Each structure stands twice: as structure tokens, then as C-alpha cells.
């Protein structure tokens, strides 16, 4: 798409004529041991399938439905774990940022700073992330139209940072349900930024379990394949060895063992719609 920039993140690149990037890992850092086991498996998958991959795990899930829910190890301990992932497995890493004071220390470790959908319009947080000079992934708010993200891009640009990714993750539809309008992908690409599709959070049912968010992980592969066919620049997808016992977002994560087959399918779709797109990388 004319005018759409490319955005480098560590050792991978998002944008036109570059391979489909996978941002994946567990929802939250449950333990250092679990994160390392997942990262080791993902390293093997990325190498075997020759796909660019960024490792994602949250050090603090500050937007849980219940105040009693598990949030993660916190900023300092979480960043130590992610730094180890970088060193041992060679992944670029990303995590959610919820408050301005987290940005500076997080930028010392993270290659990609992620702004959650609920905070897409938080100007101080966006500007602080932009000021680091790092690439920033801003998830479109469930309450926002795709074209409204032009204002987020403008904030980043005003802070002299054009390394921005936009992520589509569903739109609120009544109570406890999200729907995906795949037109959001090309519409946001027309704003000039690479666009990632979040297959995990698109299948959420907010508050669907009373004091927890529900979801329907069986829909994740369908949406990931559809977004690939539409031409997204990356897929965001959370995974876990046993999602049914995960401490956060279990209903929406796919089993780690099922991820390679989905990646292979999406690669075939990508090759069908853009036969030359995988030549650079």
C-alpha cells in the first residue's frame, strides 16, 4: 500500500514487502521457569518455520476484571525475565505499559513498547513512549473507529517518533462481546502505519465469567487466517502450554502445541495473496 512505512523492531521489520511478523508468548509472566520453557519452544518454531517473531509477556496486567486476579511479578522482576529471554533466545521482546513511570525503565529492556487498547488515548503515556525513540505498538481502543487512530499517530509524530504500529483487537458490541471488522486493517494501513491483528483479545468476552474475562479460543485460528488474507503486517497471538490453568486470559490463548500448524496455514495464505512478500527478511 503506497505511503505505508516500514518499522524495524530489534531484528525484525514490519511493513510492505516484509514477512508476516508474529508477536507471541504467554499473556502474563506466571514464573520465570514457565516463560523460559515457552520461549525455548517458540525459538524452535521460529527457526524451523523461518518466521520473524517477537516474544510477548506482561510484567503487570493492571487491567484485570477483579482486583484479586493475578497481575504478574511487577516491573523490576518482570523486566529481568524478559531480559533473560532476549539474551538466551535472541528474541526482541515486548510488554504492556500502563503508567508513565514504567516507560523509561521498560525502554531499557523492551524493543517494542505496547500501549493497551484501554489506554490508546492516554496522551501522556503515548508521548512518554514516543520520547524513548523505541518502536511503539498502540492497540486500537475497543471504543474507537479505525480512522480515529490518526490522532495517535499525530501524537507520536509530534514527539519525533514515526516508529508506530497499530493493532486491531476488536470493537465493543453490546455487553460482553467483541466483533471484528476486517476493514479496520486496510483503513489503518492507509494512515501510514503497519497494522497488527490481535487474534487473542479479539475473542474475549469482557467480564464474561463474572469476576473474570471469558472468551472462545476456538475462534482464534479463524480470525488469524482472515486477518492474514486481508493483508495485516503481523499477528499478535498469546499462547500457553495449558491455557485452561493459565493465570490470565486462559480462555483466549491457544495451546502452544497448536501454534506451528496455525503459522504454517497463515504462511500459505500470505504466499497466495502476496507471492513476493516473503522475499525480504
Sequence spans of domains, the chain: 7-273
pLDDT grade for 92, boundaries at 50, 70 and 90: very high
- The pTM of the full predicted model, rounded to 2 decimals, is 0.93
Residue 204 confidence class, pLDDT cut points 50, 70, 90: confident
Q: Express each pLDDT in 113-143 by its tens digit.
A: 999 999 999 999 999 999 999 999 999 999 9
Question: At the topology level of CATH, where does 7-273 sit?
Answer: TIM Barrel (3.20.20)
The answer to whether the beta carbons of residues 135 and 164 sit under 8 Å apart is yes
Confidence of residue 62 (pLDDT cuts 50, 70, 90): confident
- DSSP secondary structure, 113-176, as one string: EEE-GGGTT-HHHHHHHHHTTSEEEEEPPTTS-GGGGHHHHHHHHHTT---EEEEE--EE-SSS
Q: What is the pLDDT of residues 47-57, one digit of tens each?
A: 999 999 999 99
Q: Are the CB atoms for 155 and 119 separated by under 8 Å?
A: no
Across the chain, what does the average pLDDT equal? 92
Amino acid at each position: 500500500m503506497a505511503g505505508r512505512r516500514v518499522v524495524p523492531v530489534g531484528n525484525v521489520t514490519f511493513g510492505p514487502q516484509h514477512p508476516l511478523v508474529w508477536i507471541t508468548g504467554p499473556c502474563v509472566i506466571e514464573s520465570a521457569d514457565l516463560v523460559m520453557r515457552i520461549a525455548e519452544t517458540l525459538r524452535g518454531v521460529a527457526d524451523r518455520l523461518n518466521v520473524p517473531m517477537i516474544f510477548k509477556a506482561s510484567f503487570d496486567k493492571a487491567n484485570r476484571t477483579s482486583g484479586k486476579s493475578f497481575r504478574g511479578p511487577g516491573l523490576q522482576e518482570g523486566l529481568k525475565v524478559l531480559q533473560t529471554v532476549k539474551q538466551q533466545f535472541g528474541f526482541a521482546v515486548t510488554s504492556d505499559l500502563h503508567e508513565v513511570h514504567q516507560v523509561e525503565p521498560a525502554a531499557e529492556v523492551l524493543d517494542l513498547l505496547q500501549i493497551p487498547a484501554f489506554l490508546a488515548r492516554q496522551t501522556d503515556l503515548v508521548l512518554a513512549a514516543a520520547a524513548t525513540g523505541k518502536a511503539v505498538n498502540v492497540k486500537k481502543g475497543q471504543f474507537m473507529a479505525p480512522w480515529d487512530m490518526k490522532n495517535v499517530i499525530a501524537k507520536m509524530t509530534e514527539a519525533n517518533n514515526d516508529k508506530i504500529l497499530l493493532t486491531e483487537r476488536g470493537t465493543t458490541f453490546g455487553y460482553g462481546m467483541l466483533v471484528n471488522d476486517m476493514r479496520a486493517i486496510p483503513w489503518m494501513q492507509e494512515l501510514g502505519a503497519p497494522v497488527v491483528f490481535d487474534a487473542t483479545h479479539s475473542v474475549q468476552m469482557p467480564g464474561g465469567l463474572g469476576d473474570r474475562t471469558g472468551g472462545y479460543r476456538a475462534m482464534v485460528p479463524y480470525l488469524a487466517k482472515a486477518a492474514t488474507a486481508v493483508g495485516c503486517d503481523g499477528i499478535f497471538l498469546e499462547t500457553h502450554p495449558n491455557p485452561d490453568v493459565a493465570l490470565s486470559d486462559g480462555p483466549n490463548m491457544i495451546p502452544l502445541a497448536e501454534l506451528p500448524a496455525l503459522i504454517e496455514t497463515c504462511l500459505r495464505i500470505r504466499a497466495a495473496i502476496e507471492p513476493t512478500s516473503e522475499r525480504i527478511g
